[in-house]
Chains A and B, each alone.
Chain A
Amino acid sequence: MLTKTISELKQGLEARDFSSSELVQSCIKQINKFNPQLNCFITINSEQALTQATQADSAISLGNAKPLTGIPIAHKDIFCTNGVKTSCGSKILDNFIAPYDATVVTRLQAAGAICVGKTNMDEFAMGSSNETSYYGVTKSPWDLEYVPGGSSGGSAAAIAARLVPGATGTDTGGSIRQPAAFSGITGLKPTYGRVSRWGMIAFASSLDQGGPLAQTAEDCALLLQQMAGVDPRDSTSVAQPVPNYSASLNDSINGLTIGLPEEFFNQQLSADMAKHLQAAIKIFSQLGTKVKSVKLPHSPLAIPAYYIVAPAECSSNLARYDGVRYGYRCENPKDLQDLYKRSRSEGFGTEVKRRIMIGTYVLSSGYYDSYYLQAQKIRKLIADDFTQAFAEVDLILGPTTAGPAFKIGEKFADPISMYRSDTYTSCVNLAGLPAISVPCGFSNALPVGLQLIGNYFSEAKLLNAAHKYQQETAWHKQLPKLVSNF
């Protein structure tokens, strides 16, 4: 039951092959069994989930099922969930019980989905390995010595281990796509503004975007359908109609043109990754698409620009954690400065502090123009490159990462090496475009993913192309050994 996709589970529930109560019970049993090893979940929501499952069964039997009624999902612990701990992977919010639901949570719940728990993540979404969490590292179900990717590593690992069929994540520089690639699952970062950020704890407000992770593009379509749409409470959400993503999944992609950026197919790619990408390009050609080389000449500047813009925005966003109104407060502060400094210093981890300090610097008087302003101009150049490319092609294809996951601890002591993990993903966030990562092979027995990037609000086309690819391949159906003995 737990290896089924959301789409298959929906059919099973409808056909009464099993009940939502049975499904959620199995889910929770598996989570309790594997979580001590994998550390995917920070909070497990058993009681509430089982109550909701009973209600779901009742709704199904009365013919009142909604699109996701009875389906267990997990939320990255960056989304506020009313009455449930929401830690953002940080000690500074270890005691924070969210007083409201994020819009994403409300919408998925209204569609009938059942939240079984909150997943582990890099602290405040700052990381590419799930190693910076206050709650300890999440381990890859494929090999416990390896990272699942980050910052949505808990969600990705939970799906890879088939503990849940779907989960939410957030992507600021690659944090849905990269863990999806490292964990052998599918993850989509929507266009900036497609999904409401209300109740999604802010890291970098002009880059953050919530999105779905699941086994397949088909499942991501089901989740995104409920997550997407303008929200009066998020003034950066865009009033663009939400199409029926599932309806166009099986459309032919014959005649679509796929762009291959010269800058993405370079020496940095591992030999295996290059081989798998070529195999994928062949499959897309067999499906009737044309391929064409495109240029994204400023994309190599994405990492430096991103690591100015994101820390700058985070230094501003994280100023709210001052120990006054919520979150961690130090003991016996002697004055206000001491309250602020000790609460923040005792509450934040090292990577968060590093980024806050860089952000503080690049926004400071005398340096703002040469760093922050310049980075935002580079951002415009990167976005313009994509606009030019999309005048010639429908989608862009490339690697999600240069190679497979790395070992736990391998890059942790070298921030720059970790930052470079975002090489192929961060340019997409800077431009605000949508992109999806799907499994495309294995390297050293670990999954790797390819990335499809689309024009603004082209999620339907991305999901369509990804689905057609997944109909021709079986990479997304592979199970880690840990799980294949179910």
Chain B
Amino acid sequence: MSFTQKDVIKLAHLARLDLDLGAITKTTLDSTEQDVTKQPLKHFAANITKDLNNILNMVAEISEIDTKHVEPMFHSSAMSQRLRNDEVTESNVVTTMQQIAPPGGAKNNLYIVPLVVE
């Protein structure tokens, strides 16, 4: 399997990402210094197909291993979910959580988002 640009655009949509946008690193380094870790967004978007294909090629070697009789290990500890008594132990945190909402994003214990249904 090898990604095409069309695949990458679909993948980005599934992940709710727009490849041409991104967080420019907020550098606290000396402004005269070249920050070599800043990757221009155009470079990222231009190279993402190649990068993802390189990663796919790297991980592909696991497909060569016969695991027909191997059980998958999703977790390192063989535990099952601990149950507890059916008692209320947490307090109402609505007000606290509303205070950390994005600016303009919360009101009257509700979260404000763009109109969903006309």
Contact = CB atoms under 8 A, between A and B. Distances in A.
Given A192-B76, A373-B72, A353 B115 contact: no
A483 interface: no
Given A326-B101, A335-B115, A358 B62 contact: no
Most chain-A Cβ atoms within 10 A of its Cβ — which of B11, B52, B102? B102
Interface residues of A, number: 92
Contacts of A336: 113-114, 116
Most chain-A Cβ atoms within 10 A of its Cβ — which of B37, B67, B82? B37
B28 A99 contact: no
Contact of B37 (A235, A341, A375, A412): A412
A433 B72 CA distance: 17
B38 to A, nearest CB: 9
Contact of B100 (A323, A326, A339, A383): A326
Interface in A289-330: 298, 301, 303-305, 307-308, 315, 319, 322-329
B71 to A, nearest CB: 6
A328 B27 CA distance: 18
Most chain-A Cβ atoms within 10 A of its Cβ — which of B35, B61, B76? B76
B18 A345 contact: yes
A375 B51 contact: no
B23 A357 contact: no
A348 B73 contact: no
Contacts of B51: 354, 415
A223 to B, nearest CB: 22
Contacts of B29: 39, 136-137
B59 interface: yes
Contacts of A303: 58
Contacts of A345: 17-22
B76 to A, nearest CB: 2
Interface in B1-41: 1, 8, 11-12, 14-23, 25-29, 35-37, 39, 41
Contacts of B74: 206, 376
Most chain-A Cβ atoms within 10 A of its Cβ — which of B11, B15, B20, B28? B15
A356 interface: yes
Interface string A362-376: 001001001101111
Given A193-B77, A341-B18, A375 B62 contact: yes
B73 A380 contact: yes
Interface string B68-103: 001111111101011010000000010011011111
B80 to A, nearest CB: 10
Given A326-B102, A328-B102, A380-B72, A357 B12 contact: yes
A36 B29 CA distance: 7
Contact of A136 (B14, B15, B25, B101): B25
Contacts of A381: 65, 67, 70
Given A96-B100, A357-B12, A346 B73 contact: no
B interface, how many residues as a size bin?
Answer: 35 or more
Nearest to A419: B58
A375 B111 CA distance: 39
B110 to A, nearest CB: 11
A373 to B, nearest CB: 6
A360 B11 contact: yes
Interface in A394-408: 408
A409 B96 contact: no
B46 to A, nearest CB: 12
A432 interface: yes
A232 B37 contact: no
Contact of B113 (A99, A192, A339): A339
Interface in A131-161: 131-137
B58 A95 contact: no
Nearest to B83: A235
A176 interface: no
A357 B73 contact: no
A390 to B, nearest CB: 14
Contact of B73 (A94, A95, A379): A379
Contacts of B55: 307, 354, 358, 415-416, 419
Contacts of B81: 235
Interface string A444-469: 00000000000010000000000000
18 contacts: A134-B26, A136-B27, A193-B77, A193-B79, A304-B58, A323-B102, A341-B18, A346-B23, A358-B55, A360-B15, A376-B72, A377-B70, A379-B73, A381-B67, A383-B73, A415-B54, A416-B55, A432-B77
Given A345-B19, A349-B23, A381-B67, 12 more contacts: A96-B100, A97-B100, A132-B37, A232-B84, A324-B111, A336-B113, A344-B16, A354-B51, A356-B15, A374-B67, A377-B72, A416-B55
Interface of A: 36, 39, 90-92, 94-97, 99, 131-137, 192-193, 206, 232, 235-236, 238-239, 298, 301, 303-305, 307-308, 315, 319, 322-329, 333-342, 344-350, 353-354, 356-358, 360-361, 364, 367, 370-371, 373-381, 383, 408-409, 412-413, 415-416, 419, 430-433, 456
